């Protein structure tokens, strides 16, 4: 993603227990589009067990807001996988 000098870029790499869990997180999070697509651009990718997100925003304030919201979503996904992930996988293989 290319950005002009007026934009602010943040890249985060979040490790998961497996590539499958990182892919699940990506699929769940990317369903929600950015509320201000003209001011916030987001790209999610998975490399092995790492979820990588790059945000490009017009302001530092927007960077802070989108990172906070994103980390809340990641936290929810991690807790959900921890609570239901293994049980759901065992149940679906019956």
* 34 in any annotated domain: yes
* 2 in any annotated domain: no
CA angle 62, 11, 78 (to 5 degrees): 90
**Collapsing DSSP states into helix, strand and coil, what is residue 93?**
coil
Spell out the residues 6+ positions from residue 58 whose beta carbon is closer than 8 angstroms to its own.
Answer: 6, 7, 8, 39, 40
- Give the CATH number of the domain where residue 85 resides: 3.30.310.50
* 3 in any annotated domain: no
Per-residue model confidence (pLDDT) at position 38: 92
* 39 in any annotated domain: yes
Q: Give the range of the structural domain holding residue 81, as residue numbers without chain letter.
A: 8-91
* 23 in any annotated domain: yes
**Separation of CA 66 from chain center:** 10
The tally of domains found in the chain comes to 1
Q: Which residues of the chain have pLDDT under 70?
A: 1-5, 86-94
* 1 in any annotated domain: no
* 24 in any annotated domain: yes
CB atoms within 10 A of CB 64: 13
Question: Per-residue DSSP letters for 4-18?
Answer: -TTSEEEEEEEE-SS
Per-residue model confidence (pLDDT) at position 35: 84
Per-residue model confidence (pLDDT) at position 94: 44
């Amino acid at each position: 993603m290319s950005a002009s000098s007026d934009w602010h870029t943040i890249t985060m790499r979040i490790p998961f227990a497996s590539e499958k869990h990182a892919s699940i997180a990506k699929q769940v999070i990317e369903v929600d589009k950015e509320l201000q697509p003209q001011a916030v651009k987001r790209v999610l990718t998975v490399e092995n067990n790492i979820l990588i997100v790059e945000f490009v925003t017009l302001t530092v304030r927007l960077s802070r807001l989108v990172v906070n919201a994103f980390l809340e979503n990641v936290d929810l996904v991690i807790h959900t996988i921890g609570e239901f992930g293994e049980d759901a996988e065992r149940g679906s293989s019956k």
